[in-house]
Amino acid sequence: MTSIAASGVRCAVPFASADRIQLGHGSGGRMSAALIGGLFMRALDNAALAEMGDGAVVTADGLELVISTDSFVVSPLEFPGGDIGSLAVHGTLNDVAMMGATPICLTAGFVLEEGLPIATLERIVASMARAAAEAGVNVVAGDTKVVERGKADGLFVNTTGIGTVHPRCRPGPRRARVGDVVIVSGPIGRHGMAIMAAREGLEFESTITSDSACLVPLVERLTASGVEIHVLRDPTRGGVASALNEIASASRVAIALDEEALPVPENVRAACEMLGLDPLYVANEGILLAIVPEADATRALDTLRSHALGRDSAVIGRVTGQPAATVILRTALGGTRIVDLLPGDQLPRIC
Amino acid sequence: MTSIAASGVRCAVPFASADRIQLGHGSGGRMSAALIGGLFMRALDNAALAEMGDGAVVTADGLELVISTDSFVVSPLEFPGGDIGSLAVHGTLNDVAMMGATPICLTAGFVLEEGLPIATLERIVASMARAAAEAGVNVVAGDTKVVERGKADGLFVNTTGIGTVHPRCRPGPRRARVGDVVIVSGPIGRHGMAIMAAREGLEFESTITSDSACLVPLVERLTASGVEIHVLRDPTRGGVASALNEIASASRVAIALDEEALPVPENVRAACEMLGLDPLYVANEGILLAIVPEADATRALDTLRSHALGRDSAVIGRVTGQPAATVILRTALGGTRIVDLLPGDQLPRIC
């Protein structure tokens, strides 16, 4: 998931156009960035928050820790490939991992709506427990609040994770360098389209399942391989396009994507075409973007492909110099187009 | 605030009476305990969670850390003496402090309802920033989600805090010993009644203001004084009665309260009488309960009274042996009555 920090793109859009919160403010796109930069970052101003990572680095008695927080409001609560419980575990563990850190624990804070079936809650908490156990991490503290019927939507859950920083791995959104390659660890667009299909009752030839997964093992292998990792990011809300825009903006570089290299599953492509969506903006919950020096590209690909989650890893683009803070797509037809942040929300409540 | 862990009283009520979530499941009383013990603790089973503190102790590279999480759903969002922003800072910092730890940072995860006035959000985030600055702690990471109009109630916010453990202070709900005294650091019932009065538009001779405050300085003084602190607890949701029941249950002791010693402000007493509420069950957000050996009682009182927040500190009871897991009130009229956990919710959504 994108933290305040992660969404904190310094963008030129002033935060003045709205006097009320709109759905687009939660999109991970331009309106989110404006809300975060114009309101949250300004009020809560501090160096850790300003770093705009997927989490913050804090120091406790000389020990560097990563902390990341995420609230989950996905609708429906259960969907092909996961549910809000497993998603809340994967999402926050992945954010900790994207900081080059190893997660050590999670917390969970629930807001429950009066009338939620206990059986639903039991399934979701069991799924959360399984996901945490698979990652080897405990949910060590929690909280439960209940609000009246009609004041929430089933349940919302916040998870917060702490991790310890790897001594040799300090990726960050400002560290992309001209000449680096952009690697994606798997097919794009599955999570968002699985949610859309479940929500709208859409039927495709094959069911689209969410890619929701814990990326910690993938990051561990990459770190252990000795690859110099400049940037790690899980392209969740706002998709690959928004994640790369944030990185291009933070690093003051251009990123050129190769459309033909983008791994878009056939059922995702068909669903996107039917709904008029661009898979580059569709959320993912089980893939990562790694930006590494070109010299390390082969080793990075081999390492990622050695794990089931990274089997389909591919180079999808390169970091170039100009125009700064821009993502460009080289289309299959040989043209180019700018891949901008979306102004508002293409797919609300996918995480 | 009460964490999953804090609410995890091992109680005899089986978790089977309901098939849907009810408001009482968020009360901090018997239904909360049943939900937490019967569902969350069972599914998420681990040693840190089972400790039932206000937070969990985890170890990172040999360093002991405390982590605590809390979601805030208070209604109304702004009330005399505070708002959901300052409350979310105080609540989580206080939970960290109740573990005998010094908070080092906070995270904040917002769920915003479409249509929330931006001006309201700005006031609340500014209040959060002020409360954090006063405590000397930064909000280092955050997250923002937006849900459709009617799917939340203005805004909910989760805060999670990390702290470092004090080497000489390890309070815990299991550590109350026969002969200890129970100290409260200030007047009881203000927060809950301030919320009720604001919500219901009740007018009293004087406005009841919430006691919402950061208790970290109070704990720091107490720790530095050398007092042997057995238990620290902020009696939030469920009030003094529920907090002491949890402690009596965890320590397998009885706690005898002296009704005449309970510091209940006159306007709180009047409001409680009008509404048929017992101030012992009303939430507080700026006082602590300290259980210390009788030999340290005077030093503890002197230390607490040396700070403005603890000026009205008083001994309100004693730890006795039997009947175990029971709180007894010696009434002003000379009788005694059992102060049990409430079955359900007396005051929903006060935090």
Model ipTM value:
0.93
A113: nearest CA partner in chain B: B21
Q: Do B69 and A21 touch (CB under 8 A)?
A: no
Among A residues 27-86, those touching chain B with beta carbons less than 8 Å apart: 27, 32, 35-36, 39-40, 43-46, 48-49, 55-56, 58, 60-61, 63, 65, 67-73
* Chain B environment of A71 (Cβ under 8 Å): 109-111, 143-145, 158
* pLDDT tens per residue, range B133-154: 999 999 999 999 999 999 999 9
Which residues of chain A fall short of a pLDDT of 70?
1-17, 52, 345
pLDDT of residue B232: 97
- Checking if the pLDDT of B8 tops 60, the result is no
- Checking if the pLDDT of B224 tops 60, the result is yes
pLDDT of residue A347: 82
A7: nearest CA partner in chain B: B143
SS3 for A61-75, per residue?
A: CCEEEEEEEEEECCC
User: What average pLDDT does range B3-18 have in this prediction?
Assistant: 43
- Checking if the pLDDT of B6 tops 50, the result is no
Q: Do A60 and B162 touch (CB under 8 A)?
A: yes
pLDDT of residue B143: 95
Residues 6 or more apart in contact with residue B13 via CB below 8 angstroms? B30, B33, B34
pLDDT of residue B214: 98
> What is the pTM assigned to this prediction?
0.93
- Checking if the pLDDT of B15 tops 60, the result is no
Q: Do A141 and B49 touch (CB under 8 A)?
A: yes
Structure-token pair, residue B312: 């009205």
pLDDT of residue A166: 84
* pLDDT tens per residue, range B51-65: 767 789 999 999 999
Q: How far is B207 from B200, CA to CA, in rounded Å?
A: 13
What is the DSSP code (8-state) at residue A281? G
Q: Do A144 and B18 touch (CB under 8 A)?
A: no
Say which residue the tokens 């989580």 belong to.
B92
Q: How far is A61 from A49, CA to CA, in rounded Å?
A: 20
* pLDDT tens per residue, range A222-247: 999 999 999 999 999 999 999 999 99
* pLDDT tens per residue, range B192-213: 999 999 998 888 778 999 999 9
B330 CA to centre of own chain: 23
CB neighbours of residue B276 within 10 Å: 7
Q: How far is B245 from B258, CA to CA, in rounded Å?
A: 15
Sign of CA dihedral A196, A200, A204, A206: positive
pLDDT of residue A204: 77
pLDDT of residue A8: 34
A122: nearest CA partner in chain B: B39
- Nearest CA-CA partner of B93 in B217, B226, B238, B245: B217
pLDDT of residue B147: 97
Among A residues 133-162, those touching chain B with beta carbons less than 8 Å apart: 138-148, 150-153, 156, 158, 160, 162
pLDDT of residue B12: 39
CB neighbours of residue B136 within 10 Å: 13
SS3 for chain B, per residue?
A: CCCHHHHCCCCCCCCCCCCECCHHHHCCCHHHHHHHHHHHHHHCCCHHHHCCCCCEEEEECCEEEEEEEEEECCCCCEECCEEHHHHHHHHHHHHHHHCCEEEEEEEEEEEEECCCEHHHHHHHHHHHHHHHHHHCCEEEEEEEEEECCCCCCCEEEEEEEEEEECCCCCCCCCCCCCCCEEEECCCCCHHHHHHHHHHHCCCCCCCCCCCCCCCHHHHHHHHHCCCCCCEEECCCCCHHHHHHHHHHHHHCCEEEEEHHHCCCCHHHHHHHHHHCCCHHHCCCCCCCEEEECHHHHHHHHHHHHCCHHHCCCEEEEEEECCCCCEEEEECCCCCEEECCCCCCCCCCCCC
Radius of gyration for chain B, computed over Cα atoms and rounded to the nearest angstrom: 19
Report the amino acid identity of residue A215.
Answer: L
pLDDT of residue A5: 38
B106: nearest CA partner in chain A: A67
* Of B86 and A54, the one with more pLDDT: B86
Q: Does A26 contact B at CB distance below 8 Å? A: yes
Q: Does A5 contact B at CB distance below 8 Å? A: yes
